[in-house]
Amino acid sequence: MPPGNEYAAEQLKTQGNNHFKNGEYGEAETLYSQAVQKNSKNPLLFTNRANARLKLERWEGVIDDCLRSIELMRENMKGFFYLAQAQLAINHPNEALSSALMAYELCVSSRQQTSNAATISALVLKCKKAKWDIRERERIRRRADLLSDLEQKLEEGYKRTVSDLEDRVEAGEVGAVEGSEEKASLKTDFEKKVGDLRTAFALSDPEHLEKREVPDYLVDGITFEIMHDPVVTRNGRSYERATLIEHLKRNPTDPLTREPLRIEDLRPNIALKEACTEFMEKNEGWVYDCGDGEVDVNTRWAHLSSS
């Protein structure tokens, strides 16, 4: 690299950051690209450009940038974080989930625990939800096919009997009054069968039977939501890691006992985490949806606090 290029790249990056702050993502992207041409060894240039491209919804570009940045620097929380969002946007929830989990892992193992954990944790949930949605759509489609096939069979049978009956009335084998009475009973019979069939399908769907409520022992006492990375405090209570850290940063005491509590004192509650995961696997769709009247204050793309 010719001398001075590193400096030039840094200058371009600063200019790009200013445009980004003003919401001028196109301009920011151009400047980051110029910076990359001056210095292609700085992973931050790629993640910054990825972030701008995320805003511009240029997913492939985001993915390229993130992968290049990660190649230059393995421990790359932002890289994995933007990557996950782009993968989610192009509907690859499996890849998105593993990227998001990498970002989360890097975030909670970093020395300065920031509020990023909460943001990334929300993205992890979003990816899990996307995975669950695909599975669920597939399942409903298969079931719906079977149900409509069966309903069609019943209807064909019913129509055939009715037309037979009409033929016999026509031929004088059956009286007109008797014929219309029998027709009415055939109709009730058919409708009852369809009703029973639909009930049977509804009952065989465990979703309809299970009570849609998360057991209290899986719920974080601060957010009132199911935990996905519970940590245990010295008095044995568990909380969601990201939210408890938010509290401890302001007030380093145990929320219940008010005894001094430091972030370093927290231990993962592995068994509880597994219980939560299992519950989510079974019920994810609605567990995630039960944000009653949530107002999404975030704009479309999540952001990490600058570090």
Partner 1 sequence: MFASKRLGKELSKLQQNLPPGITLVEAENFSEWTMDIRVVDENPLYAGEIYRLKFSFSTSYPIEPPEVVFTQDDAHPIPWHPHIYSNGIICLDLLDRQGWSPVHNVESICISLQSMLTSNTKKERPPGDEDFVRYNKQRPRDISFVFHDNQV
Choices 20-28, 180-188, 195-203, 288-296; region in contact with partner 1 by CB under 8 A:
288-296
Does residue number 263 form part of the binding site for partner 1 (CB under 8 A)? no
Q: Residue 96: which residues within 8 A CB-CB, separation 6 or more?
A: 83, 84, 85, 87, 88, 127, 130
Smallest distance, partner 1 to C-beta of residue 130, A: 19
Contact 65, 97 (CB under 8 A): no
Does residue number 1 form part of the binding site for partner 1 (CB under 8 A)? no
Smallest distance, partner 1 to C-beta of residue 243, A: 7
Does residue number 171 form part of the binding site for partner 1 (CB under 8 A)? no
Choices 77-85, 87-95, 193-201, 249-257; region in contact with partner 1 by CB under 8 A:
249-257
CA 39/CA 65 separation, integer angstroms: 14
Work out which of 149, 216, 264, 292 binds partner 1, going by CB under 8 A. Answer: 292
CA 209/CA 172 separation, integer angstroms: 51
CA 88/CA 101 separation, integer angstroms: 13
Residue 104 token pair? 């989360």
* 47-86: contacts with partner 1 (CB under 8 A): none
* 209-228: contacts with partner 1 (CB under 8 A): 221-225
Helix (H, G, I), strand (E, B) or coil at 169: helix
Neighbours of 123 (CB within 10 A): 21
Residue 39 token pair? 């210095």
* 120-149: contacts with partner 1 (CB under 8 A): none
Choices 13-21, 83-91, 176-184, 254-262; region in contact with partner 1 by CB under 8 A:
254-262
CA 133/CA 284 separation, integer angstroms: 9
Work out which of 76, 243, 269, 283 binds partner 1, going by CB under 8 A. Answer: 243
Compute, in degrees rounded to 10, the torsion defined by CA atoms 155, 158, 164, 170.
Answer: -100
Choices 127-135, 166-174, 248-256, 274-282; region in contact with partner 1 by CB under 8 A:
248-256
Work out which of 188, 294, 299, 305 binds partner 1, going by CB under 8 A. Answer: 294
User: Residue 88 forms beta bridges with which residues?
Assistant: none
Does residue number 291 form part of the binding site for partner 1 (CB under 8 A)? yes
Phi-psi region of 293 (alpha: psi -120 to 50; beta: other; left: phi over 0): left
Q: Provide the edge-to-edge strand list for the sheet that holds 230-232.
A: 238-240, 230-232, 267-268
CA 186/CA 191 separation, integer angstroms: 9
- Closest by CA to 263, choosing from 132, 53, 114, is 114
Q: Which is nearer to partner 1, 158 or 279 (CB)?
A: 279
Q: Which is nearer to partner 1, 255 or 268 (CB)?
A: 255
Q: Which is nearer to partner 1, 72 or 118 (CB)?
A: 118
Work out which of 148, 235, 251, 307 binds partner 1, going by CB under 8 A. Answer: 251
Smallest distance, partner 1 to C-beta of residue 97, A: 21
Smallest distance, partner 1 to C-beta of residue 36, A: 33
Choices 1-9, 50-58, 129-137, 247-255; region in contact with partner 1 by CB under 8 A:
247-255
CA 119/CA 30 separation, integer angstroms: 28
CA 121/CA 100 separation, integer angstroms: 8
Total residues contacting partner 1 by CB under 8 A comes to 21
Does residue number 256 form part of the binding site for partner 1 (CB under 8 A)? yes
The residues that touch partner 1, with contacts defined as CB under 8 A, are: 118, 221-225, 243, 246-247, 250-251, 253, 255-256, 258, 291-295, 297
